[in-house]
Chain A
């Protein structure tokens, strides 16, 4: 096979795969600008005849999309913030601070990674009910405010901090909190960005738990609202696609901006074992 032919074949395959990957997303975008009913036709129209933003207007004006967007944003941001604080503190402690029971705890946490989160869901719901947190932001944020995976992610990275650096600071009389803020956090910055991106995307895309714990429509996140809307308005194709665009676009943009960090998270997650 000549090099040129091989190159052409490789790019043909890449092109086909690109098409398969992108067509659903582009079609979603295109249909979201079609007037109601236009997409229910055969053959399916690829581009809107007369592009319109009516679906988006309808979403915001009568379906409360602004509210859901706000909920999603607020929940993802709060969760990310909590997770950054809790996981970075714990990750650092598990990497660099000696304390009684550390190794046993570490092993327990590692073993618990295999328990799927759904096992906890029923009692968690009852617990939230007794705490009065059903249908509140706290009910969504608290269970995600710290996570075993996050702790390990930070710990893995923090292990590489040289002990001498910390010792030197201690000899200078700095307290642990001061050392953490002044010395450790700057070093951890890249992994914290990774953790933030992973947490934000995870929280934004989360579905099952918000579906269970948020009972009031005014509290819904975008995915939950979209799923509900799709059950009540199964017939409004174009409206649904506009909702899908609204839900997907923020995370896609975030990913494009910070993909380097995101991919690092995946790779660290996959080699942690």
Chain B
């Protein structure tokens, strides 16, 4: 009994905060998404109308929403494999028996992860500058003509993906390194005795044993990449031609620029449902593969 009371008392501060500032607003968001909450309603609640699912239907018919969703999916579909590939490559290098100073490299590769996103996004905005940027200067050195990275609607998203890979690969690398270290060394020795070369060792021993980790990293990274916002906010303001407008960016504009809080809440909910569906799909696929 005493422990029961104490348990509640100990858990209470955290539970109250999570309940009041997370669960309640999440439920509230659904309620708001069924209204036309806007500036007029903010001024006077009598100007609030219940609109049922109209916000959702309008979104599903709006070009902007599909555009934003398409951009976000592009970012996820290209960014996640690239990020994970880079993470795995970095992890293999850092973890290699041949590497001297692995701790040093690990720290270096991790630095972009902790660096403040807004700040390094600004740095990249200049690195990517058409005329004065280091990247185009480098391309020029290779004999390539300069690319208008952030000004050309076809290149802006690849530029943001490039930036995101740079910023994030260190995170998953850490997880991969830990997983690699947990692979018993005798498995490699056995493969070696069987006459396997380096590539065969990698594809027959390392990759299969890393599969659970890869799956986990994939699910987490997909969910995270769906929440693209600060990169376009700082680097392109959603442009050019809305080519980098993400779902969250659209939500921010609807909500806090135009004060259409009803519509913005509907966007947030739709994004949540999409992420949920994608995650469920990924998990099912991975289970099926494990069963096979």
Contacts and interface: CB of A to CB of B under 8 A. Distances in A.
Q: Do chains A and B touch in the complex (CB under 8 A)?
A: yes
Interface of A: 1, 3, 6-7, 10-11, 13-14, 17-18, 20-25, 27-28, 31, 39-44, 85-87, 89-90, 92-94, 97-100, 102, 105, 109, 112, 114-127, 142-143, 145-148, 150-151, 176-177, 180, 201, 204-205, 207-208, 212, 222-224, 226-227, 230-231, 237, 240-241, 243-245, 247-248, 251-252, 254-256, 259, 262-263, 266-267, 270-271, 273
B79 interface: no
Query: Which of A3, A42, A204 has the most C-beta atoms of chain B within 10 angstroms of its own C-beta?
Result: A42
Given A90-B15, A114-B279, A259-B110, A123 B119 contact: no
A193 to B, nearest CB: 15
Contacts of A27: 123, 127, 134
Contact of B115 (A125, A251, A273): A251
A176 B252 CA distance: 45
B192 interface: no
A223 B109 contact: no
A212 to B, nearest CB: 6
A123 B132 contact: no
17 contacts: A13-B93, A17-B109, A28-B120, A89-B14, A90-B15, A97-B6, A99-B3, A114-B275, A116-B271, A119-B25, A123-B24, A123-B25, A125-B255, A207-B233, A223-B116, A244-B116, A244-B119
A109 B171 CA distance: 24
A263 B174 contact: yes
A231 B127 CA distance: 17
Contacts of A112: 22-23
A198 to B, nearest CB: 10
Nearest to B275: A116
Given A123-B29, A145-B17, A255-B111, A24 B22 contact: no
Query: Which of B32, B110, B237 has the most C-beta atoms of chain A within 10 angstroms of its own C-beta?
Result: B110
B28 A44 contact: no
Contacts of B94: 14
B137 A117 contact: no
A28 B275 CA distance: 35
B261 interface: yes
Given A105-B15, A114-B275, A43 B137 contact: yes
B265 A123 contact: yes
A21 B126 contact: no
Contact of A99 (B7, B17, B112, B272): B7
Contacts of A87: 14
Contacts of A99: 3-8, 11
Given A23-B134, A93-B11, A223-B116, A148 B18 contact: yes
Interface residues of B, number: 92
A124 B25 contact: yes
A98 B3 CA distance: 6
B108 to A, nearest CB: 5
Given A120-B26, A146-B17, A176-B6, A270 B216 contact: yes
Contacts of A273: 216
Nearest to A131: B20
A247 to B, nearest CB: 4
B131 interface: yes
Nearest to A205: B116
Q: Which 9 A-B residue pairings sit nearest by Cβ, starting from the closest?
A: A99-B7, A123-B28, A97-B7, A90-B14, A120-B25, A93-B10, A146-B14, A244-B119, A176-B6
Nearest to A208: B229
A120 B29 contact: yes
Interface string B20-48: 01111110110110000100000000000
A18 B108 contact: yes
A21 B2 CA distance: 54
B100 interface: yes
A115 B8 contact: no
B153 interface: no
A115 B271 CA distance: 10
A159 B120 CA distance: 38
Contacts of A3: 98
Contacts of A177: 6
A114 B178 CA distance: 24
A243 B119 contact: yes
Contacts of B159: none
Interface string B165-181: 01000110011001000
B65 interface: no
B200 interface: no
A44 B132 contact: yes
Interface string B79-117: 000000000011001101011100001011111101111
Contacts of A148: 18, 22
Contact of A92 (B10, B25, B234): B10
A247 B119 CA distance: 7
Contacts of A42: 131-132, 137
Nearest to A230: B122
B68 to A, nearest CB: 13
